[in-house]
């Protein structure tokens, strides 16, 4: 079992792979919160109490609870490829109490979003974009499900093995029709925000 977990970690480190659910303790490390805190990510999303939000690749839900707290009359739709990750997020949301009513869970692939057109005000990804097998298809799907004027927010930070530079993210995202609006942070830990025109 340990050997299999190690193999999955190596595959993740050297290729576009979903982060292995067996080693999510790395995502939960207090050191990660030194790089970027859940409140910082939530602040950068420009949420309102009624925002409809899509979190792509939530992992174990490091940022999910804080986002859900800020949209008490909205919706946080959590999409993840791995059912084990969705279970971890759900346990975290339930432990936070009084948030379950604003959160929904969908197992699915970021390259084939299973949502209706113009469903969300905001979509965000934190250290996920580099794991997506077909980034352009993912962005095309996000463009479809985000309402006109809505926000796409991508956060990247080192030492994530799938780290994407700001210039790469901006080029690819703008190539799919989004308009760059703002950037927060430093080159090694940043959030880039885009709007759907």
**Which residues lie across from 56 on neighbouring strands?**
79
Give Dmax (Cα) for the chain: 48
Alpha carbons 36 and 160: distance in angstroms, whole number: 13
The closest alpha carbon to 179, from 150, 136, 137, 138, belongs to 150
Overall pTM surpassing 0.75 (yes/no): yes
Q: Which domains does the chain have, with CATH numbers?
A: 2-195 (3.40.50.150)
The pair of three-digit structure tokens given for residue 95, joined into one six-digit string: 């432990």
In this prediction, residue 20 carries a pLDDT of 61
The closest alpha carbon to 119, from 86, 101, 141, belongs to 141
What string of pLDDT tens digits covers the 197 residues of the chain?
443 444 444 444 444 456 565 555 555 666 666 678 999 999 999 999 999 999 999 988 999 999 999 999 999 999 999 999 899 999 999 998 788 899 999 999 999 999 999 999 999 999 999 999 999 999 999 999 999 999 999 999 998 889 999 999 999 999 999 999 999 999 999 999 999 99
Helix axes 166-175, 135-145, angle to 10 degrees: 60
**What does residue 145 show for φ and ψ, rounded to 5 degrees?**
-90, -15
**Which residues lie across from 126 on neighbouring strands?**
155
Do 28 and 62 form a contact (C-beta atoms < 8 A)? yes
Do 155 and 126 form a contact (C-beta atoms < 8 A)? yes
In this prediction, residue 5 carries a pLDDT of 43
Strands 52-56, 75-80: pairing kind? parallel
Residue with tokens 């993740």: 12
Give one word for 149, left, alpha or beta, with left for phi > 0 and alpha for psi -120 to 50. left
DSSP 129: G
Q: HEC states along 97-126? A: CCCHHHEEEEECCCCCCCCCCCCEEEEEEE
The pair of three-digit structure tokens given for residue 81, joined into one six-digit string: 């490829």
């Amino acid at each position: 079992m340990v050997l299999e977990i190690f193999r999955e970690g190596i595959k993740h480190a050297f290729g576009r792979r979903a982060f292995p659910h067996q080693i999510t303790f790395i995502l939960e490390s207090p050191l990660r919160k030194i790089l970027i805190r859940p409140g910082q990510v939530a602040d950068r999303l420009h949420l309102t109490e009624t925002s409809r939000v899509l979190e792509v690749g939530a992992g174990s839900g490091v940022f999910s609870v804080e986002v859900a707290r800020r949209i008490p009359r909205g919706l946080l739709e959590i999409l993840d490829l791995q059912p084990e990750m969705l279970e971890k997020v759900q346990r975290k949301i339930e432990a936070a109490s009084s948030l379950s009513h604003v959160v929904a869970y969908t197992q699915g692939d970021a390259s084939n979003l299973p949502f209706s057109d113009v469903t969300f005000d905001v979509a965000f990804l934190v250290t996920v974009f580099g794991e997506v097998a077909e980034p352009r298809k993912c962005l095309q799907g996000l463009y479809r499900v985000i309402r006109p004027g809505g926000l796409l927010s991508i956060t990247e930070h080192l030492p994530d093995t799938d780290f994407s530079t700001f210039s790469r993210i901006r080029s690819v995202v703008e190539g799919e029709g989004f308009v760059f609006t703002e950037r927060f942070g430093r080159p090694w830990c940043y959030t880039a925000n885009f709007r759907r025109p």
